[in-house]
Amino acid sequence: MTKKVLITGGATGFGRGVAATLAAEEGWEVVVGCENWQQVTDVRNGDDLKGAVSKVTAVKLDVTDPIDRAKAFAEHEPDVLVLNHAIMESGAVIETPPGIFEKIFDVNVLTGIRLLQGFGRKMVERGSGRIIWVSSQAGLNPVPWDAPYGMSKFAVEALAAAAYEELKPHGVQVCTINPGAFKTGFNDTGLESMKQWREQAEYRLSAEPFVGWLDHQADPAIMIEGMVEAIKAEHPKYRTFLPTEQLAYARNAQNELWDRVL
């Protein structure tokens, strides 16, 4: 039986890798949500999808656009919804312009709620479905100089945990994907973004942001494999955290907050 998966933010990065992997296997209908028409063209002409065994459909789905969302709700009823879209901009809490916090929260959190409601209500009505929300290690561990992004992913963690309990009795599964640092380019540009405004900031700390961790990012193929498993498995883990080498640090960092003394 063919299953349908819809991936938001599917034109690049993890989403593109997941789409290509599923497209190469039988039994899937893959809907790739793209932010703009250029991405739609790129997906349709991409070498990684030309030899697809399963059906692949590229659609314009700017998650912030109510017209795009309404069209997607009307035309698609996925078995699995992957909320993969996100933007990243970095900065210290005391420095970052409030508008950046608002923009990131709108894209990473509020649009996810709108999509979860639109597709999730269909899943509840039929009594089956899976919603996979791509969070982050930053949603578990506070990251200095990355407060805008981390804030949004902490919110995703709260929403996903609540939705898990609320939707489970109705046959709808909810789980999260928690990538650490992977070399997709997303982290690099996310940290670079603060250069656009920091020299003009109303207030600026004397310390400079630490970006050395960018030199130790993992191979995205590891995360793509984990995401595909979360889509395909009958009973996936609630939280897929990769790379495993960072798991001990993530757990210890959470425990450290309980024992922290000022």
Residue (of 104, 101, 23, 91) closest to 63 by Cα position: 104
Q: What is the token pair recorded at 125?
A: 């009505």
Domains of the chain, each with CATH number or no CATH = 3-259 (3.40.50.720)
Q: Cα–Cα distance between 143 and 140 in angstroms, integer?
A: 9
Q: Cα–Cα distance between 195 and 92 in angstroms, integer?
A: 12
Q: Cα–Cα distance between 211 and 219 in angstroms, integer?
A: 18
Q: What does pLDDT average to in each consecutive run of 10 residues of the chain (262 residues)?
A: 96 97 96 98 94 95 98 98 97 96 98 98 98 97 93 98 98 98 95 93 90 90 98 97 94 92 94
Burial (Cβ within 10 Å: 0-12, 13-18, ≥19) of residue 194: buried
Q: Is the dihedral of CA 240, 21, 47, 67 positive or negative?
A: negative
Q: What is the pLDDT of residue 257?
A: 92
Angle at 238 between CA 233 and CA 239, to 5 degrees: 105
56: Cβ–Cβ under 8 A, 6 or more apart, which residues? 19, 23, 30, 32, 43, 49
Q: What is the pLDDT of residue 51?
A: 86
Burial (Cβ within 10 Å: 0-12, 13-18, ≥19) of residue 28: buried
Q: What is the pLDDT of residue 211?
A: 82
Q: What is the pLDDT of residue 1?
A: 80
Pairing between strand 3-7 and 129-134? unpaired
Q: How far is CA 244 from the centre of its chain?
A: 18
Q: What is the pLDDT of residue 210?
A: 82
57: Cβ–Cβ under 8 A, 6 or more apart, which residues? 29, 30, 31, 32
